[in-house]
Chain A
């Protein structure tokens, strides 16, 4: 490594260290709340002044779905467009050929751990009302389960789990349609009947006659429509990462090799 490379590396590390130290010095004291935070803290669960309230006991969920719901929705859209671009450029006709994979100890352990990981992904998603977590976290954990199967067993083991490239695309689109329809139905209802309805509502509002949880019979489970939307995002994100991994592990130049052998 030459002297110039060393100088560039050391100056980059020093710059990043200075930025980190500067950021840590500006860290506010415990108990300091910005004006925007004051707005959320005052309005999220305020029975006395119901002008801007979200009726959601969890303030983070209130910010994510009630105040900034379209932000979350368009993040999901950006993820979908990224997957479509990768599939458009790199997708070939896939061959899920079954091979032996790694040794028998690793294969047996991976089959056990696959069940554990899928269970924890479901739990993190469904109980995200009370514990940290949510659709994106659960989806990436679910993708790790399928990636482990691809690595330790082989790509050809996926059809035994009722999973395929086209089936993964179908399940992903199903998750997106679930989120989209749950968002659009209240808008259409409001436009059709001329009453007030809330597009990305978390909890039912008493003065609005269209409320999801009473409508779906989900009120006792969690309160709010968080769970169906989170399940849609779990399926969407997990299948998206699985599709990316399946496309990227496709063997390159298979047709040329086959041509030479014949």
Chain B
């Protein structure tokens, strides 16, 4: 059961990565990268590594998204 859930989450990570690569809307890409970070944090939680999941939620999801949004403010939102 646990392996099935972890495999589903890994597959959804791959699909989210493909969506991030192919989308033209950079704000949507930032939101989807936040969603992918949450998926990875849930995988770490299910594999019983709560300290790594804490780093992932705080630094990988919270702070990197803030820096992406600040960088996006200085650029254009839509590609091409």
Contacts and interface: CB of A to CB of B under 8 A. Distances in A.
Given A20-B10, A143-B63, A248-B70, A137 B54 contact: yes
Interface in B1-50: 10, 14, 17-18, 21-22, 50
Contacts of B70: 245, 248-249
A62 to B, nearest CB: 14
Interface string B66-79: 11001100100000
A140 B59 contact: yes
A207 B15 CA distance: 57
B50 A132 contact: yes
Nearest to B10: A20
Q: How large is the interface on B (under 10, 10 to 19, 20 to 34, 35 or more residues)?
A: 10 to 19
Nearest to A141: B58
Q: How large is the interface on A (under 10, 10 to 19, 20 to 34, 35 or more residues)?
A: 20 to 34
A195 B8 CA distance: 57
Interface string A2-16: 000000010011001
B18 A9 contact: yes
A151 B65 CA distance: 13
A136 B55 contact: yes
Q: Which 5 A-B pairs have the closest CB atoms?
A: A132-B51, A140-B58, A132-B50, A140-B59, A137-B54
Interface of B: 10, 14, 17-18, 21-22, 50-51, 54-55, 58-59, 62-63, 66-67, 70-71, 74
